[in-house]
Amino acid sequence: MLGMFPVRRRVAATLAALGAAVLMSACGGAPAKAPEAPEAPKAAATASAGFPVTVDNCGVSTTYTAPPKRVVTIHQHPAELMLALGLEKSMVGTAFPDSEVLEQYRAAYERIPELAKKEPSFEAVLETDPDLVYGGYGSAFAEKEGRSRQAFAGAGVNTYLNLEYCKRDKLSVEQVYEEIRTIGKIFGVGDRAEALVGDMRKKLDTVATAVKDVEPVPVFVYDSGDKSAFTAGGAGMGEQMIRMAGGKNIFSDVPEVFADVSWEQVVERKPEVIVLYDYAGAGTVEEKKKFLLSQKVLADVPAIKNQRFMVLPLTATLVGVRPPAAVEELARFLHPTKISS
């Protein structure tokens, strides 16, 4: 069946057939008038408008002559971003969902084959005959697992890595906008990207107005850990999200995206709210809450005494479509009288 052949093979077969037809025509004598080339389908012409485009991504430069049509996303936030831009038909595989997919994208997401619960093998990805692999975390292209960007390039497959993993001092919401615009550029849907960025800006502007005069609430992010606490430092999206929501990350002075801190430091900094990051493989939210409440050293911490816990999916703190809505939710928790439901 035609649908069983990889795209590149189908293209080669089509070109070969056209070549043969031209040769047969030539053997029958020169025509009085050269045949006109068939008019290109309007959809195809529209799809390639504005191409080629060149994108520099984490030190890898790629030129796209047309929008990718067979994309595999590894990790959830790249998949959700593509769906937010209406690119479901360009997706041939997903992998590693680390929280429940946003409701508005769930039906579309479930129509796309899931290649693996974690990162798929290099071979499993190639079986989908992709023209682009879009990774969310650096582990999408783990060299020790045989999935390096160089390995995919050797197989004729382009790659793109979420810019959160391009080296920089700090992340901010501007990187969210940059990621959306870049994906819009790669797929020729810049208008959709700008519309999405505009909606995000509007939401964040509304929150900023609501909390502009509040006293920042001290917030401690608990990701995981028992001997020490693995928390959000001052270099990641979590830091800026807390600040935009009218809070103060008690470890904003730590110059890393994530870092281990002592429980004594947590006690000293007196957080009034604890944000629990929720994701697969790090214990449930209830287990994390139970652990924190059981620690005698934390007994006098205001957030523990008042049991002020808020849950955020880890995906909400990544460079993708979720941060603006998560900022609004966090602001509503920190300042319930300032943000309407």
Residue 92 lies in a domain: yes
By residue range, what is the domain housing residue 270? 214-334
Give the pLDDT confidence score for residue 48 in this predicted structure: 64
Alpha helix positions (H), 212-274 = 237-244, 263-269
Helix (H) or strand (E) holding 54: strand 53-57
What pLDDT, on a 0 to 100 scale, did the predictor assign at position 169?
A: 77
Task: Establish if 183 belongs to a structural domain.
Answer: no
| Residues 162, 221 share a domain | no
Residue 195 in domain: no
Query: Given 107, 135, 167, which residue is the final one in a domain?
Result: 167
Closest CA to 266 of 304, 307, 311, 216: 304
User: Does residue 341 lie in a domain region?
Assistant: no
Query: Are 75 and 158 contained in the same domain?
Result: yes
219 with 317, same domain: the answer is yes
Last residue of one domain, picked from the residues 109, 135, 167: 167
Please, what are the averages of pLDDT over each run of 10 residues along the chain (341 residues)?
A: 35 37 36 38 50 96 98 97 98 94 96 97 98 97 97 98 87 94 98 98 97 97 97 94 98 95 98 95 93 97 98 94 97 93 68
Q: What is the residue type of 158? A: N
* Residues 70 and 159 occupy one common structural domain: yes
Domain count, the chain: 2
Contacts of 188 by beta carbon, 8 Å cutoff, 6+ apart = 47, 48, 49, 50, 51, 66, 67
CATH of the domain at 54: 3.40.50.1980
For position 11, what pLDDT does the model report? 34
Listed as own residue / partner, the contacts of 122-125 with beta carbons closer than 8 Å and 24 or more positions apart are 122/146, 122/147, 122/151, 122/152, 125/72, 125/74, 125/93, 125/152, 125/157
CB-side exposure of 327: number of CA atoms within 13 Å?
30
Domain C-terminal end among 133, 167, 201: 167
Residue 262 domain flag: yes
Residues 86 and 154 in one domain: yes
Q: Whole-prediction pTM value?
A: 0.82
Do residues 121 and 99 touch, judged by C-beta distance below 8 A? no
Examine residue 286 and state whether it is found in any structural domain, yes or no.
Answer: yes
Shared domain check, 131 and 229: no
The answer to whether residue 232 is domain-embedded is yes
Peptide bond into 113 cis (omega under 30): no
**74 domain residue, yes or no:** yes
Do 125 and 229 reside in the same domain of the chain? Answer: no
What pLDDT, on the 0 to 100 scale, is given for residue 81?
Answer: 98
